[in-house]
Amino acid sequence: MAVETRKSTCNRDCPDACGLVAEVEDGRLRSLKGDPEHPVTRGFLCSRTSRFPELLDSPQHLRTPLVRDGGVLRPASLDEALDRCAERLLAIRRESGPAAILHYRSGGSLGLLKTIANRFFERFGPCTSTIGDICSGAGEEAQVQDFGVSDSNDLFDLLEARHVILWGKNPAVSNVHLVPVLDDCKARGATITLIDPIAHKSRTRADVWLQPAPGGDLALALGVGRLLFDEGGVDPEAIARCEGVDGYRGLCRSRSLAAWAQLAGVGEAAIRALAAAFAGGPTAILVGWGMQRRRNGGAIVRALDALSAVSGNLFRSGGGCSFYFRRRGAFDAGAITSGAAARVLREPILGQDVLEASDPPVRAIWVTAANPVCMLPDSARVAEAFERTEFVVVADPFLTDTARRAHVVLPVPTLLEDSDVLGAYGHHWLGESRPLIEPPPGVVHEVDLFSRLAARVGLAADFAGTVDDWKRRLLARVAQKGATLEALRAGPVRNPEAKPVLFGDGRVRTLSGKVRLLTAIDESLLRRDVSPERPLWLFSNSTIDSQASLWSRDPGTHLTVTVHPESAPADAPDGALVVIESARGSLTARLRLDPAQRRDVALVPKGGHFDRGQSANALIDAIPTDLGLGAAYLDCQVRLRLP
């Protein structure tokens, strides 16, 4: 049989939404590469996706539904699995009402058709849902408060920047297709400044690297703001485009430059140089997602928004404050889901909220595109909540920590087998995912899954239509502007509603059209002291080998913890086993010594596997961020000791 070339779009929780090109022979994948015709992918993939085909042969890859009998998950037919789901959901709704059923959906796949699950639980109830966003809640809410929207200038508008500030961002690991754009910026004469407490791969591309205290970004931004006011770096025209100028100025001047520098853990000269970059723009801020996963995460992003606004960079080409690209903005999500819910539980505190729910208690949980046992803070409590729930269903391509606690597991397509439409949160191109290979016979697409389940519970009419029908409904608005399904099948299409410069007309999307500046903060958000008992801030960061809890390489028996040599237990050599202890729990880890790290941080991989004792979230308390009900993953203090 001849080799066939097929194209698709990656649906992983990653900003790049890469174009994929596969060579397929006799139904088997021969190669997987980045699409050279995609304007962002440029023909290469991250190592995680390049190695993804290896996961298809993993024993954890599900090829048939599983049902629990006598405490053991066993293979079952799709009909048996769905019959059991329908029977239990109907009984629980009849006995306790639809609020006793929780639907939890996260970003394990960014395909828009995954919201078909939301539609089912709205029509079936409405049932209980979640509120908050563990990934980007604080940052998005901060920008919505300030600008009325969280979106960005066109990705390639960066080429007009004189200065690019990577504030808490590590594109070499978590946004790899940004790296060539940054290289092009440098080739055109731009300077790149990295601001991050952690020493990571992206520092090799920076002209300047500032290593502030963990969480000291808020003080650093306010110190820069003070200098802009004190030394004429404020743009008078930009000031007229802002609300709360007096309050913001007073906040910046509430401490001396020396005091801000001390709180930030950065020298005064470095703050002066940063202020000069803002005054001498165009200067673009690229805001990292991890930084806002702190108790003061929303305040940090609001402080960065304010710097961009008062310096005038927010409104000009080559500027902007980019935290997120509005990936759902082109789609008519209301064609599938309305957002109705009988009640909501808080996502970052899900374990506690499920266990404490009453009138009615949570009797059933359905999980879509998520592995909450591993990925939510206070993992042990989340695991307990699932183990104590009467009926749990997980739809996933892999047997995850959460799936192992389910009563029914429904295999859905992997990114190589899926069919969907996607936006990106790292650029404005839209794409279609199409099957590069056919899924195993026991795997079912979510549209088909919920069509079959709906027919069993009297909702068949609400789920009529093929996968392509639902894609067209999602694209209905932008299809009139050229982004049709046929156009996406020919290649990626830039969102026709996205402006090259988001606020180039000088107006943001608040009611007044003016930026709402940060005017006050909780003083407790500025103090970032660690306890003597646990002197290290735990950073659980993205890695080149994993996408959250899905690893492209086996992480081994123990996770790795990286610290400065002076922060390791006395006489512990590189490679030794140590115990990481927090107020919540402990894990055994392999020690790695790195003199480039700060002495007050410990670095471990994000995600991992809870049941293998490799999930950092078992150490982390369930603490919400100051805005947006995000999870304060990075507000965890630990110590290391020998076993």
Q: At residue 554, does pLDDT exceed 90? A: no
Which pair of tokens denotes residue 524? 């407790």
CB 546 within 8 A of CB 52: no
Rounded CA separation 629/643 (Å): 36
Chain region(s) in the chain for CATH 2.40.40.20: 529-641
Is the peptide bond between 126 and the residue preceding it cis, with omega within 30 degrees of 0? yes
Residue 1: predicted pLDDT: 62
Closest CA to 97 of 123, 120, 74, 126: 126
Q: At residue 55, does pLDDT exceed 90? A: no
Chain region(s) in the chain for CATH 3.40.228.10: 148-326+501-516
The side-by-side arrangement of strands in the sheet containing 208-210 is: 208-210, 191-195, 163-167, 283-287, 321-322
Q: Residue 282: enclosing H or E segment and its boundaries?
A: none
Chain region(s) in the chain for CATH 3.40.50.740: 66-134+334-415+434-494
Query: pLDDT tens digits, residue range 358-413?
Result: 999 999 999 999 999 999 999 999 999 999 999 999 999 999 999 999 999 999 99
What CATH number was assigned to the domain covering residues 66-134+334-415+434-494?
A: 3.40.50.740
Residue 12: predicted pLDDT: 92
Residue 106: predicted pLDDT: 95
Percent of the chain with pLDDT over 70: 100
Per DSSP, what are the bridge partners of residue 270?
none
Candidates 3.40.190.10, 2.40.50.40, 3.30.1330.10, 2.40.40.20; CATH matching 529-641: 2.40.40.20
Mean pLDDT across the chain: 95
Q: Coil, strand, or helix at residue 218?
A: helix
Average pLDDT over residues 336-347: 96
Average pLDDT over residues 91-117: 97
Whole-structure pTM value: 0.96
Ramachandran bin of 629, using left for φ above 0, alpha for ψ from -120 to 50, beta for the remaining angles: left
Task: Give the architecture (CATH level 2) of 148-326+501-516.
Answer: 3-Layer(aba) Sandwich (3.40)
Query: pLDDT tens digits, residue range 118-154?
Result: 999 999 999 999 999 999 999 999 999 999 999 999 9
Percent of the chain with pLDDT over 90: 91
Rounded CA separation 168/296 (Å): 14
Q: Coil, strand, or helix at residue 242?
A: strand
Give how far the C-alpha of residue 444 lies from the chain's centroid of Cα atoms, to the nearest Å. Answer: 26
Rounded CA separation 206/108 (Å): 31
DSSP secondary structure letter of residue 523? G
Residues in the chain, total: 643
Average pLDDT over residues 594-598: 97
